[in-house]
Amino acid sequence: MWVRFTRRHVWHATPGTSIAYKPDGGPFKDGRYSVTRDCASDAVAKGVALKVPTPTRPK
């Protein structure tokens, strides 16, 4: 699932693992990341991310 982060978000995947997402990061450097559904649901519920459509590959 793809989301665009509007603010910094730290996802705690397991008790010993955390992943930080930045609003100016990701593969496109615009805050879009491919994340798990659990991470996306948590971020959207906290108001730090918006769901976005899956990007298409350039032809």
Q: What is the pLDDT of residue 37?
A: 96
Q: Which residues pair with 14 in a beta bridge?
A: 17
Per-residue pLDDT tens over the stretch 11-58: 999 999 999 999 999 988 999 999 999 999 999 999 999 999 998 888
Hey, what amino acid is at 4?
Answer: R
What is the model's pTM? 0.87
In the predicted model, is pLDDT for residue 59 greater than 90? no
Written in H, E and C, the secondary structure of the chain is CEEEECCCEEEEEECCEEEEECCCCCCCCCCEEECCHHHHHHHHHHCCEEECCCCCCCC
Q: What is the pLDDT of residue 11?
A: 96
